[in-house]
Amino acid sequence: METSENTTSAKKVNLKKDAEPYHISPNATANKKLVVEYIEACIAVDADKIRNSVGPGYMDYGPGMLDSANIEQVIEGWARQKKVSSNRKHGIMAVTALESTEPGPAQGDWVHVWGVYTATGNDDRKMEISIPYHSATRIENGKIVWSRSFFDNLETALKLGSVKAVEQ
């Protein structure tokens, strides 16, 4: 049986629910295009286009909590990938563009991308690489200023032999 106190709390929650902390961004089309073109430029290692997509002080984070890279490090990382792999594809499955209205560091325009990055290793094994990922990207004044990518590349690292499984 519900008490009047519980009913009042439920009404407060419902009232807050009506004021969503986010909505589709009025800049959705432009923001999604910017981020998809940035990802394509990274895979192609088009350094000028990569640099022109980001704002001052851009930082990329992930996949680990302590992993971070400035734009020059991002370009270097993709250039290394280009040397050791071919047939690189972003495999984008979904892209959303939202605007957060909640005060604080999350306020503003965001683009989220879900995909499966694929490539073929260039060594004599020609190993197929497949890494599901999600990225959250912050947009300010038509430029990417912050991104965090989530992916698990352990299986690929094990296949490549760059890490070894330890038996216990």
pLDDT for 162 equals 75
- Percent of the chain, pLDDT > 90? 67
Q: What pLDDT is attached to residue 3?
A: 44
Whether omega for the bond prior to residue 63 falls within 30 degrees of 0, making it cis, is yes
Confidence of residue 163 (pLDDT cuts 50, 70, 90): confident
pTM of this structure: 0.82
pLDDT at 5: 46
For residue 17, what pLDDT is reported?
52
The pair of three-digit structure tokens given for residue 15, joined into one six-digit string: 């009232």
pLDDT reading at 36 higher than 70? yes
Q: In whole angstroms, give the CA distance from residue 32 to residue 95.
A: 7
pLDDT greater than 50 at residue 12: no
* Averaged pLDDT, 93-115: 95
Task: Give the residue, 57 or 9, on which the prediction is more confident.
Answer: 57
pLDDT higher than threshold 60 for residue 16? no
21-160: CATH topology is Nuclear Transport Factor 2; Chain: A, (3.10.450)
Give me the residue spans of the domains in the chain.
21-160
Note the pLDDT tens digit of each residue in 45-70.
999 999 999 999 999 999 988 999 99
Q: Give me the phi and psi of 41, to 5 degrees please.
A: -65, -35
Question: Over the Cα atoms of the chain, what is R_g?
Answer: 20
